[in-house]
Structure 1
Amino acid sequence: MQLSPRFKWFSQPLDRYAIGFVAALSVAIAIVLWIGDRTAPQVKDFSWQGQRIDASNASFVLTFNRPMNRESVEQNLKFDPPLAGKISWSSRRMSYTPLAPATYGKNYTMKLENAYDRFANESGKKIAIEPFVGSFKTPNPYFAYIGSQGEEKGRLVLYNVLQKEKRVLTPPNLTVLDFRIYPDRQKILFGAIEAAGQSLLDQKLYVVTTGIDREDHLTSNPPEIKPILGSDDYQNFKFDLSPDGKNILVQRLSRQQVGRYGLWLIKENQQPRSLDNQPGGDFMFTPDSSSVAIAQGEGVAILPLEPQAPPLDFLPRFGTVLNFGRSGTKAATIKFNKDYTRSLYLVNNQGIQKELTKINGSILGAQFDPQEKTLYCLLTDVEQDPAKNIFREKPYIAAIDLDSAQLRRILELPSQREIQFNVAPDGQAILLNSAVTSDDASVSQAIPEDSAKATRSGRNSQVPTQLILLPINTAESNKLPQPDVLPMFGTFPKWLP
């Protein structure tokens, strides 16, 4: 019997196999569509996995293999140690922004289980997510300071808080005057004079390596010092390092040309060049590293890093900028009033200028906490000594709530000339230097007798100041933090980023 041409193609073996395969595949697809996808949802990517996260890391992203039931994810996301934050979603991606930076010196674990996809409730077939465990760590807390006693005097010292390791970074023939820390923790920019016979007008700039390795430990490698800027033709005064570590600004005065004074810019791997701008006073880089805030005339100018460039902005009411918030949207400034008082102002990028406090004493410093909700300040009271008919300034550390402008004193300090303080990058503590009176039994043994006598008599301008660690991240805001006096003497304490 001869097949009709219509069915002749069925007679070929390959054709029969192909038709059978298509039929089987169609049945399998139909079964999957009828039963549904029974594979478990998964975390496909965690952007902080295995990373070392510092305070500059604002948020992480979790990416899932399918749209998720957002409430089930948010309820079952756990951190150890705890890390409170805000959550936002975009399709299969979840962004988590911590309310405060993760605490330094910690290993964090993030767990997610018992979460479901978006269609679990509709289908009635809940398949829990494959349990996910992620991990990340934070840098070890380090700080640096200029020593003021013994072999450390005038030298730059690095200290590992957790390991209690100390390393002197500069040689004894250099007296360090000030320093700035690079964001990668690998180097420190410092100004110094030679200890033998040089004056402050002979300051030169150097860079020294810290010896911190990729695992955040101090290596045995000796510090390496590299000269950056000499002082043969110019006197070098205040300097600053940009937040990204790529630019250095220095105030310089020519030794040959009378009156030539202004800012010089040193870009990465380039020769110094003058900005040829109007001379000014105190200055600092803006958080984006692209401009500088400098006191000029009766205000503060924001200048680009270009020669003879006009100001980007000008704040005519203020004398100087004390500090910028990390976001770059807020600044703390001083206004010098006609009645000889001083006002501390909060200025933002929306043009709002808010007076936070007005005092008769001095405003010596201010620094935002990482969340930019609190401004920590170093202020002074003016006290009169009736017996001697003299006025004396008594410093204290205060915390100002930026919403309510409520000021709270958190630490009273003895009268002294040089105090510096620095808020930790994770917002957990303040580091400062202060003369410690011999009335404090816990530290009286550490203070030389001549220093103790000078402190008791009020002649403490030459007293070596001791470093103090003041915890500030406490749930009991109605209680004053208890300072921890550290067994080291020095000035200009600064946390590493």
Structure 2
Amino acid sequence: MTRLLWILLTSAVAIVVGQQQLMLRRPPRLIHQLPQPIHSGNAALDLSFSRPMERQSVQVASRLTPPLNHRWLGETNPLRLVLDSETPITGPLELQIGGQDRRGQSLPIRPLWWEPRPWLLVNRVVEGGEQLQLLDRNQRWRPISPVWEGIQNIVPLGNGQGIAMVTSTSEGQERVWMQRLITASVAQQRDDLIPPQAEEPQPLLDKDLLFAHLSSNLIGDLLVQTGGFTPGSEEIQLIRSDGSRRDLDVLASGPLQLLPAGGGLVVPAYNGLALQPLAETGQPAQMLPGSRELGAFCAASGRAVLIRHWPDYRRSIELVIPGLAPQELLLGDQAVLAVACNGSGKRIWAVLGRWQGKKGEHEIVLLDGDGKVLKRRPLSPWTLKSGTPMQFDPVSRQLLITLTKPELSDGRVGLINAETLDWNQVLPIAVEEAQWLMAG
């Protein structure tokens, strides 16, 4: 019996050792690819391998078509491919991933197709109400939500995996919904790069609301700030990307905004803006006094653009750099209607407005990180649709805004070259709002 047991144990050890040796001799594998929203270039892709890799060998052995400027970041595993192209990316990219692991084993060349361009998402006016639609690469509009009586607010998740929305009825009742998406921006075959596929929308809160405000970060978390029809019914809930929920006890005088990288939020107060961590640290919130509102985040650098309201009705645009006092970029008597910035915060765009009677005149201005005006162009005969954002896409290097005219009751989609401020396109469809949806 003892001898049999010894034979079995010896055999088991031999099998384990043999398996280990076999695994060590097997070449490394590329096991996961994930688009990365927090980056300093045009776009970024995280690649995970079965073994630690030699980054230099991956850089030498891999190929990118077309051959755009790029760099590899990371130590061994995962590695990040960052695009630094100064020209717009107009189509999917072909990758050939190769290299060696730290034992000298070669990775068999792995072909991939990567579509880094975001999707154009609109709240479109249709028969019976409003509907979320997405423009595919063949310039066809694809419905991705039911037709609602009204859509008050849309917030694409920062990781591109869904869209949160607030719908409304003619009686003033609002509901909050989540439209999850199945995405495929990285594939082995080009034909497998398909538009996001919509799942059934799910209610996030099972009750009617008086108001609701939404905010998402680049991780895919969602902040839901709501109020009901009874006093004291205000609630703030954080819904993480994994589906878990957490109630937040935050006092705010306006809409909250999640920080792009996660971990904190911007809280409007009666005496300024506060930067507050989501996890209790025992430290007081960082306060920025004055009548300021958040305009845009410059995600890759941790910078932000603020709009400041002065007692004499002037407005200023400020750039906030972590650890430094706000830097004033522009001060004047024009209204600041929307702002956007690139990831580094070295390019800032603003839509400025002035009214003569009932007629509004809007212009778009490009500033550098020191406040120098590089370009400015009138939007005439168009104006920015009230309450809609301006967004910058680093992949196509263009700005997205929702336009209108006095004779229109709805909006149009405007695409502007971010460097020249020339019109790229005005799409002739009736919309309430247009936004970018990240390629997830």
Match of 1:450 in 2: none
Whichever structure has more helix as a proportion of its residues is 1
- Structure 2 counterpart of 1:405, from 372, 391, 397: 372
Separation in 1, partners of 2:69, 2:403: 34
1:395 aligns with 2:362: yes
The size of the alignment, in residue pairs, is 389
1:143 aligns with 2:120: yes
Q: Secondary structure at the match of 1:483?
A: strand
Assess, with a 3 A threshold, how the Cα gap between structure 1 residues 111 and 167 changes in structure 2: closer, same or farther: closer
Separation in 2, partners of 1:87, 1:321: 33
Counterpart residue type for residue 247 of structure 1: L
Unaligned 5+ runs, structure 1: 1-43, 114-128, 385-389, 436-454
- Structure 2 counterpart of 1:334, from 307, 312, 318: 307
Q: Secondary structure at the match of 1:229?
A: coil
TM-score (norm 2): 0.73
Assess, with a 3 A threshold, how the Cα gap between structure 1 residues 84 and 45 changes in structure 2: closer, same or farther: farther
Cα deviation digits, residues 316-352 of structure 1 (max 9, x gap): 1351111111125201011212321011000111214
Whichever structure has more strand as a proportion of its residues is 2
Q: Secondary structure at the match of 1:370?
A: coil
Deviation of the 1:243 alpha carbon: 2.5
Counterpart residue type for residue 433 of structure 1: T
Separation in 1, partners of 2:179, 2:220: 14
Separation in 2, partners of 1:177, 1:66: 47
Separation in 2, partners of 1:94, 1:186: 22
Aligned Cα root-mean-square deviation (Å): 4.1
Separation in 2, partners of 1:331, 1:89: 26
- Structure 2 counterpart of 1:470, from 407, 416, 427: 416
Superposed, 1:39-50 pairs within 5 Å as none
Separation in 1, partners of 2:425, 2:153: 24
1:428 aligns with 2:397: yes
1:296 aligns with 2:269: yes
- Structure 2 counterpart of 1:487, from 414, 425, 428: 428
- Structure 2 counterpart of 1:350, from 294, 310, 323: 323
Separation in 2, partners of 1:130, 1:227: 45
Cα deviation digits, residues 283-338 of structure 1 (max 9, x gap): 31112222110210121011233699875311113511111111252010112123
1:224 aligns with 2:200: yes
Higher relative contact order (CA 8 A, sep 6+): 2
Aligned partners of 1:50 and 1:135 also within 8 Å: no
Assess, with a 3 A threshold, how the Cα gap between structure 1 residues 89 and 434 changes in structure 2: closer, same or farther: closer
Q: Secondary structure at the match of 1:83?
A: coil
Q: Mean alpha-carbon deviation: is it higher for 407-416 or for 104-113?
A: 104-113
Counterpart residue type for residue 228 of structure 1: L
Separation in 2, partners of 1:340, 1:240: 28
Cα deviation digits, residues 60-117 of structure 1 (max 9, x gap): 799987988xxxx88x9974323224678989x998643359836422346999xxxx
1:169 aligns with 2:144: yes
Separation in 1, partners of 2:184, 2:79: 33
Deviation of the 1:416 alpha carbon: 5.9
Aligned partners of 2:306 and 2:318 also within 8 Å: yes
Counterpart residue type for residue 424 of structure 2: P
Aligned partners of 2:90 and 2:396 also within 8 Å: no
Q: Secondary structure at the match of 1:488?
A: strand
Deviation of the 1:374 alpha carbon: 0.7
Matched-pair identity in %: 17
1:256 aligns with 2:230: yes
Cα deviation digits, residues 226-260 of structure 1 (max 9, x gap): 1111444x5333221233123323142x43335x6
Aligned partners of 2:411 and 2:430 also within 8 Å: yes
Assess, with a 3 A threshold, how the Cα gap between structure 1 residues 311 and 82 changes in structure 2: closer, same or farther: farther
Aligned partners of 1:190 and 1:205 also within 8 Å: yes
- Asked which structure has the greater CA Rg, the reply is 1
Match of 2:221 in 1: 246
Match of 2:167 in 1: 192
Unaligned 5+ runs, structure 2: 1-26, 100-105, 186-191
Deviation of the 1:469 alpha carbon: 1.9
Aligned partners of 2:69 and 2:83 also within 8 Å: yes
Separation in 1, partners of 2:55, 2:145: 56
Separation in 1, partners of 2:234, 2:303: 30
Cα deviation digits, residues 264-287 of structure 1 (max 9, x gap): 4344544563x3332311331112
1:106 aligns with 2:92: yes
Aligned partners of 1:158 and 1:166 also within 8 Å: yes
Separation in 1, partners of 2:66, 2:296: 31
Aligned partners of 2:301 and 2:343 also within 8 Å: no
Superposed, 1:74-93 pairs within 5 Å as 79-85=64-70
Aligned partners of 1:263 and 1:279 also within 8 Å: no
Counterpart residue type for residue 84 of structure 1: N
